[in-house]
C-alpha cells in the first residue's frame, strides 16, 4: 500500500532529514512511527502527502509512484489519504457538521451523499449531539474527534495521524486511539506519528523508530523502545 525506496530528503538549508529510508506498509496495517524530536517523522508524513518532494528515492502509494506525480493529480492522492494533526486544524467559522461536510464538498460529492455520510461519521465518533456547535464551543477531545470524522468521511484507504494525541489528556487520548483502532479494523491502513510512550506500549502494534533520519528499529507488536 505504501512503499518508500531509498528516500533521502535534504532541505534547502542542507539539513538531511531522511537518509536513505526504505519502508513498506501493507494494506490494513496499523503502524506507529516514533523517534526523537528532529528524527524526521513529520518530514516522512509530508513526503507521503506530497507536501514536500524527496531529494532522492521513490515513494509508491497503491503502486503509484507519487514522486513522479504531476501537480494536478496531487488532490487525487490526498483524497486517498485522510490526515489528522496535533493542532486539529478545524475551520472555526464552521460548525462541527460543516467542517466534516466541507471535506466531502471539495470532492464534489452530491448533497444526498453529504446528508447521508456526515451524520453517520459523526455518530461513529460520538459527536451527533455536537453537530451544530462551533470548534470554539467544544473540548480538545471533541475537536480531535471532529478532525478524525473529517479525515475519514470520504473513506480514504489510508489514514495518517501526526501526533493526534499530543494536545489531549490521557482519557481523550485513549478515546482517539480506540477510534483509530476501529477505523483500522474496518480495513483502513493507519499510520500514527507519536511521542506517547504509554500508548505505544499498550497498543502492541508495529513500531518503526527513526533516529537522525534513519530507521533504526522496526518491530511487530512492539513497544516504544529505548532508541526513541
Ligand atoms: N522546512 C525545513 N527546512 C529546513 N530544515 C527542516 C525543515 N523542516 C524540518 N527540518 C529539519 O529536518 C529535521 C527533521 O525534522 P522533522 O520535523 O521531520 O522531525 P520530527 O521527527 O517530526 O520532529 P518533532 O518530533 O520535533 O516534530 C530536523 O533537523 C529539522 O530541524
42 lines ligand 1 (CB under 6 A): yes
For 54, 79, 178, the CA distances from 32, given in Å and listed in that order, are 21, 22, 14
User: Which atom of ligand 1 is nearest to 42's Cα?
Assistant: 22
- 211 strand-pairing partners: 214
Q: 39-43, 54-58, 90-94, 222-226: lowest mean pLDDT where?
A: 222-226
Give, using CA atoms, the residue closest to atom 6 of ligand 1. Answer: 11
**Helix or strand or coil: residue 60?**
strand
Q: For the complex shown, is ipTM > 0.95?
A: yes
Over residues 17-31, the mean pLDDT reads 97
**Helix or strand or coil: residue 160?**
strand
Residue-wise pLDDT tens digits, 28-63: 999 999 999 999 999 999 999 999 999 999 999 998
Confidence of residue 228 (pLDDT cuts 50, 70, 90): low
Ligand 1 centroid to residue 17 C-alpha, Å: 6
What pTM, to 2 d.p., does this model score?
A: 0.93
User: Which atom of ligand 1 is nearest to 13's Cα?
Assistant: 4
**Any residues with CB less than 8 A from the CB of 82 and at least 6 apart, and which?**
150, 151, 152, 154, 156, 158, 159, 160, 188
* Secondary structure of 142-208 in HEC code, one letter for each residue: HHHHHHHHHHHCCCCCEEEEECCCCCCCHHHHHHHHHHHHHHHHCCCEEEEECCCHHHHHHHCCEEE
Domains of the chain: 1-80+156-228 (3.40.50.300), 91-154 (no CATH)
Q: Which of 39, 194, 200 to mutate to test the pocket of ligand 1 (most atoms within 8 A of CB)?
A: 39
Amino acid at each position: 500500500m505504501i512503499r518508500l525506496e531509498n528516500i533521502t530528503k535534504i532541505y534547502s538549508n542542507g539539513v538531511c532529514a531522511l537518509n536513505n529510508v526504505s519502508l513498506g506498509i501493507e494494506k490494513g496495517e496499523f503502524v506507529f512511527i516514533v523517534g526523537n524530536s528532529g528524527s524526521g517523522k513529520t518530514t516522512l508524513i509530508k513526503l507521503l502527502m506530497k507536501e514536500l518532494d524527496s531529494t532522492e528515492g521513490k515513494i509508491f502509494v497503491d503502486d503509484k509512484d507519487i514522486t513522479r506525480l504531476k501537480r494536478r493529480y496531487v488532490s487525487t492522492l490526498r483524497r486517498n489519504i485522510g490526515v489528522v494533526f496535533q493542532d486539529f486544524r478545524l475551520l472555526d467559522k464552521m460548525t462541527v457538521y460543516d467542517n466534516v461536510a466541507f471535506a466531502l464538498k471539495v470532492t464534489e460529492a452530491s448533497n444526498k451523499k453529504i446528508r447521508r455520510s456526515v451524520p453517520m461519521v459523526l455518530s461513529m465518533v460520538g459527536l451527533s449531539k455536537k453537530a451544530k456547535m462551533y470548534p470554539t464551543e467544544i473540548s480538545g477531545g471533541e475537536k480531535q474527534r471532529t478532525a478524525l470524522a473529517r479525515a475519514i468521511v470520504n473513506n480514504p484507504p489510508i489514514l495518517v495521524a501526526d501526533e493526534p494525541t499530543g494536545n489531549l489528556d490521557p482519557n481523550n487520548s485513549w478515546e482517539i486511539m480506540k477510534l483509530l483502532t476501529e477505523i483500522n479494523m474496518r480495513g483502513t491502513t493507519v499510520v500514527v506519528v507519536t511521542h506517547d510512550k504509554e500508548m505505544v506500549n499498550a497498543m502492541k502494534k508495529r513500531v518503526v523508530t527513526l533516529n537522525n533520519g534513519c530507521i533504526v528499529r522496526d518491530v511487530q507488536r512492539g513497544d516504544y523502545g529505548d532508541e526513541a
